[in-house]
Amino acid sequence: MMTNEWIDVSQPLTNDMAHWPEDTPFSYSLTIAKQDSGSVNIGQITTSVHTGTHIDAPFHFDNDGKRIDELDVNLYVGEAIVLDVGNVQEITVETLGNFSFDGVTRVLLKTSLPNDHTRFPEQIPNLDPRIADFLAEKGIKLIGVDMPSVDALDSKELPTHHALYTNGIHILENLMLDNVEQGNYELIALPLAIKGADGSPVRAVLRKKTETDHN
């Protein structure tokens, strides 16, 4: 059987990468050099947990919501469908109504936003909060986007975050889908086990399903 290779759809974590204005930038530095320790190089990282490819815990936008370490890891591993919605600036129920969801529980939206991890976008396509009900009805438990947020960048109310949460749909942000075509994949995007956290970086990878794969 032909097996496809896993492909990386995560933003590289670089010291010049984009971050939310007023949020903590990502930085990696070597704090102990081998010539000084006599044995090893040791680095440290500093970052907001919402920089780069990451998941939101419900606690990010709801004080009573689950924290990262309380989330089921099964949400982040398994079959996912990539949908190309790059033809619209506003993603609505009507946009999604054109697709078949095939009984998958994870949907990744590829928008028109070009992937550039060094540039924080000025504007992003809008996700109508009403898609939450629609996706929940299709059995979706995880939505992934190639943008820093599922709401407008200046939103304080975060209507789409809340609508998804209310419908039991978890959120994955800042995927890199430029080189991924629409279709059925397997996804791995596991968060770190950060106790009590509101979000976590993930390493997100996809593998295209072949016709011989079972569902």
- 3-class DSSP string for 122-171: CCCCEECCCHHHHHHHCCCCEEEECCCCCCCCCCCCCHHHHHHHHCCCEE
Tell me, yes or no, if 214 is annotated catalytic. Answer: no
Instruction: Select 104 or 148, whichever has its Cβ closest to ligand KYN.
Output: 148
Among 26, 51, 56, 146, binds Zn ion (CB under 5 A): 56
Shortest Å distance, C-beta 50 to ligand KYN: 4
**Using the rule CB under 6 A, which residue among 144, 148, 191, 201 binds ligand KYN?**
148
> Is-contact 208 177, C-beta < 8 A?
no
**How many Å apart are CA 69 and CA 141, to the nearest integer?**
17
Is 117 marked as binding a ligand? no
Number of amino acids touching ligand KYN (CB under 6 A): 10
Q: Is 198 in the site for Zn ion (CB under 5 A)?
A: no
72 labelled ligand-binding: no
Residue with tokens 């086990």: 193
Q: Does 146 bind ligand KYN (CB under 6 A)?
A: no
- Closer residue to ligand KYN (CB): 104 or 199: 199
Alpha-carbon distance 87 to 104, whole Å?
23
CA distance 142 to 185: 14
- Which of the residues 60, 117, 162, 170 is marked catalytic? 60
What residues does 79 pair with on adjacent strands? 186
Query: Closest by alpha carbon to 24, among 45, 46, 44, 43?
Result: 46
Q: Minimum distance from CB of 57 to ligand KYN (Å)?
A: 10
Name the segment binding ligand KYN (CB under 6 A); options: 62-70, 94-102, 134-142, 144-152.
144-152
Interacting residues toward ligand KYN by CB under 6 A: 20, 23, 48, 50, 56, 60, 148-149, 151, 173
